[in-house]
Structure 1
């Protein structure tokens, strides 16, 4: 007689564990997908900010004016051509650094100090700060005509033109970007900036270099006499400010035009 067979049944619970693992796996995939989308979005924002910052940094480094030279002009009388004891007009030759971005002179602020007084000057066609542009300035005038308006005694408030504004005349402008209405300088351009330095004692001189002032010039508030310490700062809309510091000669002698810088 054969012995009864004994059947053993082994308990296997792995299938129950597999469902839980699948749920966890799906949850991890969803979390990873959400995290990936957040990272992609964040990286895109950071890239845009980096590009913007890089562009601004490049402008700050490359977009700036270069002062080539500064000459001082002494006023002369119309009667006997006697000359003023002080500098009456500054003639500043400016250009741009190599590979510089264009510079709009209409947005350039020039600060000039004679060691005692300081004038903050805008381009003659700028009406954003003082509410109006230079008195009698015209975009149809030549640069020489607007320079006469800068110096002339034809303002409602005496001296405002000389105290608050400067004018610019182009020297080299191959692409035709520069005009009195739109004074934009590109790389390679050269221009002359005129700043009135007429002092109260020099308002009797009617000729300044090649400019014949039909009415006597008005006081600019500056006095650039011999041994004066002069500081000029040109601040463009974008880019580094350009500074020129110099001390005027101990005597101007008999020269009408005086080299001041460099």
Structure 2
């Protein structure tokens, strides 16, 4: 009987050790699962924020206007842009403009030419039309509305309520644009949805000296 009691005691201690080991293993496994679930939750939240930003962020083209000093040649063009509803701010310094007239496709970057509009949008004495900066590969910015001065800063940023005209020298880009010419325009920000439109120049431009503005959109 004494021998049986000793064996029972030994078995009980062994069982206790195994039980403690199982508890420790379970605790370690639970800690790993908790850490992993926390990491995955953070990744999911970050991915969700990025996805929401991509979906909501975007730029839209509100108007396209040309300047034709003669009846057969349009030399300048502005693209009026603003943010989509609910969009986060867009850095115009990292925005590209894609232009295609059916014969040539170009990509324009911001040329560090910027000014606030003070009357005539096609006043070429404005820095927004500086020919050394607004050329065949670069566009300028003419600020129309900028309550928070985000466009006026070192990095021109389009925020809610802002309106900007992107200035394009069509002579430098295409050698000018004749009547009946289709032009595809895409304004592509670094993040978010691009602005897109396709315009066709009219059959003839204004014949008088006072009729040089061409509303394309």
**Superposition TM-score tier, normalisation by shorter sequence:** 0.7 to 0.9
Counterparts of 2:22 and 2:191 in 1: how far apart (Å)? 49
Counterparts of 1:40 and 1:240 in 2: how far apart (Å)? 37
CA contact (8 A) 2:60 2:194 kept: no
Counterparts of 2:190 and 2:88 in 1: how far apart (Å)? 11
TM-score by length of 1: 0.70
Distance 1:145 1:223, change over 3 A: closer
The alignment status of 1:174 with 2:130, answered yes or no, reads no
If you compute each CA radius of gyration, which structure gives the higher value, 1 or 2?
1
Mark the runs of 5 or more structure 1 residues left unpaired by the alignment: 1-7, 76-82, 126-136, 199-218
Larger strand proportion of the pair: 2
Counterparts of 1:9 and 1:87 in 2: how far apart (Å)? 112
Please name the residue that 1:165 is paired with.
138
Give, in angstroms, the shift of residue 228 of structure 1: 1.9
DSSP-derived class of the 2:142 partner: strand
Please name the residue that 2:212 is paired with.
256
Give, in angstroms, the shift of residue 90 of structure 1: 1.1
Give, in angstroms, the shift of residue 68 of structure 1: 0.6
Please name the residue that 1:15 is paired with.
9
Counterparts of 1:247 and 1:148 in 2: how far apart (Å)? 23
Aligned partner (choices 196, 221, 231) of residue 184 of structure 2: 231
Q: Structure 1 stretches (4+) deviating beyond 4 angstroms?
A: 8-13, 141-144
Taking only aligned residues, the RMSD between alpha carbons, in angstroms, comes to: 2.4
Please name the residue that 1:57 is paired with.
51
The alignment status of 1:70 with 2:64, answered yes or no, reads yes
Length, aligned pairs only = 206
